[in-house]
Amino acid sequence: MSRCIVLIATSEIDPALTLVAPEVDGYGTEVGANHTSTTTSVPRTATMGVVDGIVSVVILVVVAVVLGLVGWQVYRVVRASQFEKLGWRYSRDPGEASVFGLNRPPFGLGRERRVRELVEGEVGGVPFRAMAYQSSAGRVPGFVVTVPLTRSLPPLVVGGPHALPEAALGESVPAPNGLAARADDPAWAEAALREAGSALAGWAGASISVDGRALVGLGCDDRPEAVTAFVGRLGRVAAALEGPALAGFTGPAVPPEMALVHHPDWVYRSRDASMLDHVRAQRGGHDHEAVDVMFLSSDEVGFIALTHRWKTRRTVTESGPNGTTTTRTVEDSHSEDIFEITLGFPFPTLSVNKAFDWGRGERVHFESDDFNRDFAVRCADPRFASHVFHPRQMQYLQQARPPGFVLEDGRIRIDWDARVATIDWWLDFTRGFFGRVPGFVWKDLGVEPPRLMVRWLA
């Protein structure tokens, strides 16, 4: 920061203010002692006016910031008290656990998932959770309200034709009271809507979905009185769905954490830095974090996918006028998308179409010139490679056209574009690849052929 030296004139000198302005660089850093100073004679009244103006602006900014912080704190206290005076619990940013097990829209979609507010309590003996929820797929208006079910029920969504979630799943099925409905099992839907018919009256402006062991309602205002009325109506629907007439219907297993709509066996975590210990990631720098983590644990073919973010610092020295230099520290942000397929069985190291990959053995040439032209396979054991890349395997690769990959240390490492569809593709390709490895190769490795791949074996 530049410094102003103000000399107050006496009767023995020119009655003016002498302002000495040190030379500064573009970052507000004073240039060294060898700089050339500029001296300007400025009327004292004008300078004092400028200083007074700057001080006034600073005071106004500080006051505005303080008032804003105080106002925000007051709002939070008042907001919480609206719910707590009813005996409910209120929290902000409670974490992911409040939505564990929920995997139908609006849950199970997108990244950057977050519960901004959570209200928990009871209305007329019906326990509930009401939450402000958002993800990269969108921000849900008002509150999402859930009430628990005693067991998992088959998926079903019903509500006003324009109130259903945009990503509602299942087939369209007939619904009462002018409503619309979707379900995976039409027989379940018919029976459920028949039993809950009277409880579904008046839901044209909202929607209800069965999500495992929870009944989820959309279209609730975030005011306490609106939550009270909404929970009461939702509770009546839940009671109807758990009646004896529907006892024969059972839903799917509930995911233990957050998952993906079409992949309930995958786990999604918004943040989990511990997963960096399980992948090959950059280790330099500081403030490492893993976001949008997805993984599938399997004793055969699983995966880990995440976005790794970290920071580094570097020193920049710049030349100034008159031969002076300035030094400053710059902090850079970095990210990388990591995707590794995890194998539950040993397999020798090899690579396919990886440039500058000389460390994994010599390139192996096969009897197919077309394959050799399209694929560069490297392996320390050419004989083993010739057993793995037999004519049927080569045909499989020529049809699939996989990008380059490396198989080592029980992992397949791939350049990833951060798309879920790419994970799906690679899991299918991997099962097909190992499914075409001949039985005698597994025997020579002392490994039982993976169960999921037996159907591919000759």
**CB atoms < 10 A from the CB of 454, how many?**
11
Question: Average pLDDT for residues 375-396, to the nearest whole number?
Answer: 95
Question: Average pLDDT for residues 293-308, to the nearest whole number?
Answer: 96
* pLDDT score for 44: 52
- Whether 81 shows a pLDDT value over 50: the answer reads yes
- Whether 384 shows a pLDDT value over 50: the answer reads yes
List, for residues 306-349, the tens digit of each pLDDT value.
999 999 999 999 888 888 888 999 999 999 999 999 999 999 99
Assign 35 to helix, strand or coil: coil
* pLDDT score for 46: 52
Torsion of the alpha carbons at 134, 183, 297 and 426, rounded to the nearest 10: -90
Share of the chain above pLDDT 90, in %: 73
pLDDT band at 91 (very low <50, low <70, confident <90, very high): very high
pLDDT band at 108 (very low <50, low <70, confident <90, very high): very high
* pLDDT score for 72: 59
List, for residues 5-55, the tens digit of each pLDDT value.
333 344 444 444 343 444 444 334 344 444 444 444 445 555 566 666 777
List, for residues 224-233, the tens digit of each pLDDT value.
999 999 999 9
Characterize the bridge pairing of strands 325-343 and 180-183. Answer: unpaired
List, for residues 256-280, the tens digit of each pLDDT value.
999 999 999 999 999 999 999 999 9
Task: Write out the E strands in 344-422.
Answer: 350-352, 363-364, 377-379, 405-408, 411-415
* pLDDT score for 241: 96
Of the listed ranges 66-70, 141-145, 384-388, the one predicted with least confidence: 66-70
Question: Which has more confidence, 12 or 455?
Answer: 455
Assign 445 to helix, strand or coil: helix
> For the chain, what is the mean pLDDT?
86
* pLDDT score for 362: 87
How are the residues of the chain apportioned to helix, strand and coil, as percentages rounded to the nearest 5?
30, 35, 35
Nearest one of 95, 99, 420 to 256, comparing CA atoms:
99
- Distance in angstroms (rounded) separating the CA atoms of residues 347 and 431: 14
**Cβ distance 201 to 193 under 8 Å?**
no
pTM of the model: 0.79
Q: 296 pairs with which residues across the strands? A: 303
Q: In sequence order, what are the residues at sequence separation of 6 or more whose Cβ sits closer than 8 angstroms to the Cβ of residue 450?
A: 300, 301, 344, 345, 434, 435
Distances in Å between the Cα of 145 and the Cα atoms of 172, 224, 260, 388, 451 are 24, 12, 20, 54, 42
**CB atoms < 10 A from the CB of 413, how many?**
19
**Cβ distance 443 to 371 under 8 Å?**
no
Question: Which has more confidence, 425 or 455?
Answer: 425
pLDDT band at 252 (very low <50, low <70, confident <90, very high): very high
* pLDDT score for 183: 95
Assign 123 to helix, strand or coil: strand
Which residue is associated with the tokens 């020193």?
Answer: 315
**Cβ distance 154 to 184 under 8 Å?**
yes
**Cβ distance 379 to 359 under 8 Å?**
no
**Cβ distance 268 to 309 under 8 Å?**
no
